A and B are shown apart, each in its own frame.
Chain A
């Protein structure tokens, strides 16, 4: 049984290869034919999805065996003195789950884009980028070592850059793309350092080999003050996820990334690429686990990001920005879950979040499509009646993210909160619980304002075409039932866990508390925005400063811009001044000096033979005197002798 599966798993490389082939085909062959480009791209990703499902089923059948012994296929990629890197694929439950999620959401998004991108001039380019992204993301998931992961990590960053700036004529899109790339690069700087130091120490970047090396021959030796080696490495590695997964203070790029087409936001900036950071921490969990300080830090950053982003989401009016801050907040959830040791729960939430957040983004896209690019929720209203499929599926998404049973978010969120509580992190538990309340509140606010309430006469919405609604329905199904993976005996955490597997019973008390928090949030929003028992304006008016700070996202962007424009660019200008007037000035000064002295010396060239003869005569006298009386000194001046040369 396992043997046959083994053969299947060796073909995992086809999953990223197919979209890559499609990218090449579109870029070099079918570029001019819109229909062909999208067909090629969608066929490739659907085939990849089929393969991913086959592998997923294979993993489930293989059971526990694969958890212990992942199937690894690799080949040498770079081999030089002191540096040997392989590239390959690893099939284990974790990568299998990611393959399925990525391929599913990517397929849905590509099909959805058939409707959403209708009539766009850059159609073929769009599908080429989509294929390139699918390749990079799937390649990253299958990585066997840190460098391979880093390579694809950067490539998904490139795709994100290209797709955020897809409408490159928009100045806002152009700037957002640049900002995303640079902000994540700050994190990648740390990640790269971590990779370099790890290779230096262990001479391998292979995940399994690193894990083995770390557990056998390394104590947490102090390297910087009292901080241990493992801790430093964990901090450096964690910088990458902070950038990629938008953790505070490198979160600033994600909301701006909403300048890209909405399907892109759904795929890259909600469901797949942004969770790469969580995936990386999970892959390197053996490192983090060895350093309690690092885990504490991860938990702290995650929890702070969760509540911080949720608080901003309350005061935003743009439908995509609300979803973006919600994504940040949910990413914070996954990160702190890892920090408190709720490994399975974090990855479970990664999966369910991918379903319901992609669903909501695509729903938002459907609304934006129907309202001709309107994104302010206050310009919407009463959409449920006009767009029943979008409305219903979006509502499922809201229930899922709010943690209402039996929808997907309930199971994963509850596991995270239970993990935080049971592993002895009461403060983080409280923050998580409050965030759950906030999440339910702002999501319901969004839903009530946009989909319920009075219709706006200037809008003439109509339901989106089938190409857009079918993906919504499929994702809605997964958002509704995806959480049930927690229930069977061989459940999600049986396959995906760290260390020894110990089945945990559901803690219904804690679950009840988090459900209450979610329902409270929904009810609160209902009273404010549907019943209008409390006027939203009056709350904002009562706390003007709070509202302004939240609305302006704590002014963090402003601080960064100030730093960039005044410190970094200022330094550039100062150094340029130094370069021109001091470094170059000295050079020009020497040139001037040469020219000046030449002017003076030119006068010696009088052209009078008598003068030359006189100089010649005196020179001979001087040389003779030196030879006659200063022999000792002369030989020491012999240039050849001085240089150790021949006599």
Chain B
């Protein structure tokens, strides 16, 4: 089981991908009044996917490394397109993350009654799409899944979203247009890369093939292609100044979409930058690294300060996620195995944390019908379990040791401080401001005098507890025993050839910034 099977071997990943898809098809053929049954089937589909990806997580042979559970089916041989799946230490944590959050997001939407059938169909498509990007070993398939994701998000924000500072139509439009503009640049970069790699025949979209043909890409080409990717993936990971879709989008989106978007979809940006950017175009990465580092610091500090000025809970978390992505970006800019370890772990950690917090905010909004911080307060009186979930999420957000977020941030700091000391110190200063805005919302929403207007509210219970239990458990399990997560990530970083690439990079002399 654990060894890398020859191509055409393992059907584990297609099963994982198929489980929510199957549930989706079952739901399509169900009467739309059966909302309870619809939810149960959606939960079952995502549960199977989660259980299987947990199995994959532990069955993966870390000492062997590399792509495992691979399956390759030629699709368009003339163009070199393969239906190729596989996971390694970089993508397997992301796959698990997607399914943890996907499963939780079904339960976070347990009280959804308005057009439930359509909602869960779209949600399952969304989960499948995101998953597909992480298990794809072929750039073409990667891109295909990436585009699949856009459709449900747009519809879901427009129909089930909520209006706050901006209308939900504007938020949905902004989210979608950013995704599409990003993907347009990506497409150009992708085609260019494909053509460059096919210079000596044998066209291919396979990641490892593209990476293996690095010597075909001249330095100027790498700079240009990486630039395009940086724009595409950068706006996806909400890199400053392409971040403004993120707070508006999360605020407008329904809870499940916020969870998935902030939790995993955004991480496709970071994953793509590592897998395609650093892995395939190392000289380009080296060239752009100072720019990424500078923008990353803007992310961390600028967004943290703005989060201080927010009154809407979801905006605070929206800007906070922009701020946290700055850490991932600075880790990518530092371009060494330690920092890349930290970047992947941080994406995982931030995904779990932000999904937890968004689900808790979803419950708050569902019950109180407001997200305006001054209108809330003292909710720990009526809803102690919700308060626990919120505080756990908050503590993870501010990087408290024993949460997986701490050790991820620590690894990033360790990896980047030797390469980019000034930027790293500025970024580390962000931990102070993160603490300020996080503790403020905890204090102002959960603590304080009892408010009689919330006395009739029921604490979260039954299915509503699932996000808290699943995500809370992961936060502490991976935080207290970091080798569970880092062992895998590290095997991905050291065995996938990335390390060799990084060594090449550290030797390359790139001259000035421009």
In the assembled complex, which residues on chain B have CB atoms less than 8 Å from the CB atom of A200?
414, 417-418
Q: Which of B386-432 contact A (CB under 8 A)?
A: 395, 400-402, 406-407, 410-411, 413-415, 417-418, 424-425, 428-429, 431-432
Complex interface: chain A residues within 8 A of B221 (CB): 643-644
Given A81-B341, A568-B436, residue A171 in contact with residue B448 (CB < 8 A): yes
Which residues of A are interface residues toward B (Cβ below 8 A)?
A: 76-83, 147, 150-152, 154-155, 158, 165, 168-171, 174-175, 177-178, 181-182, 185-186, 188-189, 192-193, 196-197, 199-200, 568-569, 571-573, 575-576, 579, 583-584, 587, 591, 640, 643-646
| Contact between A168 and B446, CB atoms less than 8 A apart | yes
Known: A77-B483, A189-B431. A573 touches B443 (CB 8 A): no
Could you tell me if B494 and A81 are in contact, using CB atoms closer than 8 angstroms?
Answer: yes
- Known A80-B411, A568-B308, A579-B306: A192·B431 in contact at CB below 8 Å: yes
Considering the chains assembled together, what is the distance between the CA atoms of A645 and B199 in angstroms? 6
Query: Closest CB of chain A to B393's CB: distance in Å?
Result: 14
Residues on the A chain within 8 Å of B380, using CB: 168
Contact with A along B435-451 (1 / 0, CB 8 A): 11001100100111110
Q: Assuming the A-B contacts A169-B450, A640-B195, A644-B199, are A82 and B381 also in contact, with contact meaning beta carbons closer than 8 angstroms in the complex?
A: no
Selected from B217, B338, B432, the residue in CB contact (under 8 A) with A80 is B338
B413 CB contacts on chain A under 8 angstroms: 192, 196
Within the complex, the shortest CB–CB distance from A587 to chain B, in Å, comes to: 6
Once the chains bind, are B224 and A643 in contact (CB under 8 Å)?
A: yes
What CA separation (Å) do A192 and B413 show in the bound complex?
Answer: 9
A169, A170, A575, most chain B CB atoms within 10 A: A575
Q: A584 contacts B217, CB within 8 Å?
A: no
CB A496 to nearest CB in B, in angstroms, measures 28
A573 to B310, CA, bound (A): 9
Of A81, A151, A189, A569, chain B has the most CB atoms within 10 Å of the CB of A81
How many chain B residues sit at the interface, stated as a range, is 35 or more
**Other-chain residue from A168, A188, A572 in contact with B305 (beta carbon distance below 8 A):** A572
Contacts of B493 in A (CB 8 A): 80-81
Cross-interface CB contact of B306 among A178, A189, A576, cutoff 8 Å: A576
B192 within 8 A of A: yes
Contact assessment for B302 and A575 in the assembled complex, using a CB-CB cutoff below 8 Å: yes
Q: Which residues of chain B have C-beta atoms less than 8 A from A640's C-beta? A: 195
Tell me which residues from 441 to 464 in chain B have a Cβ below 8 Å from any Cβ of chain A.
443, 446-450
Contact of B432 among A83, A177, A185, A643 (CB under 8 A): A185
Residue of A nearest to B444 (CB): A174
Bound together, the chains give a CA A171 to CA B406 distance in angstroms of: 29
* Across-interface contacts of A645 in B (CB, < 8 A): 192, 195-196, 198-199
Contact flag A185-B407 (CB < 8 Å), given A569-B309, A640-B195: no
The CA-CA distance from A493 to B335 in the complex, in Å, is 49
Q: List 7 A-B contacts (CB under 8 A).
A: A80-B489, A154-B401, A155-B400, A169-B381, A196-B414, A568-B308, A575-B306
Contacts of A192 in B (CB 8 A): 410, 413, 428, 431
Flag B215-229 by CB within 8 Å of A: 1 or 0 each: 001100100110000
B residues 471-485 touching A (CB-CB < 8 Å): 482-483
CB neighbours (8 Å) of B431 from chain A are 185, 188-189, 192
**Which of chain A's residues have a CB closer than 8 A to the CB of B499?**
81
B57 at the A/B interface (Cβ < 8 Å)? Answer: no
The answer, yes or no, to whether B252 is at the interface (CB within 8 Å) is no
Q: A169-B378, A169-B450 are in contact. List 16 more A-B contacts (CB 8 A).
A: A79-B487, A80-B490, A82-B338, A83-B338, A169-B449, A188-B431, A196-B424, A568-B305, A568-B433, A571-B305, A572-B309, A587-B174, A643-B196, A644-B199, A645-B192, A646-B195
| Interface: B31 (CB within 8 A) | no
Tell whether, in the assembled complex, residue B440 and residue A178 are in contact, meaning their CB atoms are under 8 Å apart.
Answer: yes
Please determine whether A646 and B199 come into contact, CB atoms closer than 8 angstroms: yes
Binary CB contact string for chain B from 43 to 77 against chain A (1 if under 8 A, 0 otherwise): 00000000000000000000000000000000000
Q: Are A189 and B432 in contact (CB under 8 A)?
A: yes
Q: Which among B310, B435, B443 is the interface contact of A175 at CB below 8 angstroms?
A: B443
CB proximity of A280 to chain B, nearest CB, Å: 15
Across-interface contacts of A79 in B (CB, < 8 A): 483, 486-487, 490
Distance (whole angstroms) from the CB of A521 to the closest CB of chain B: 39
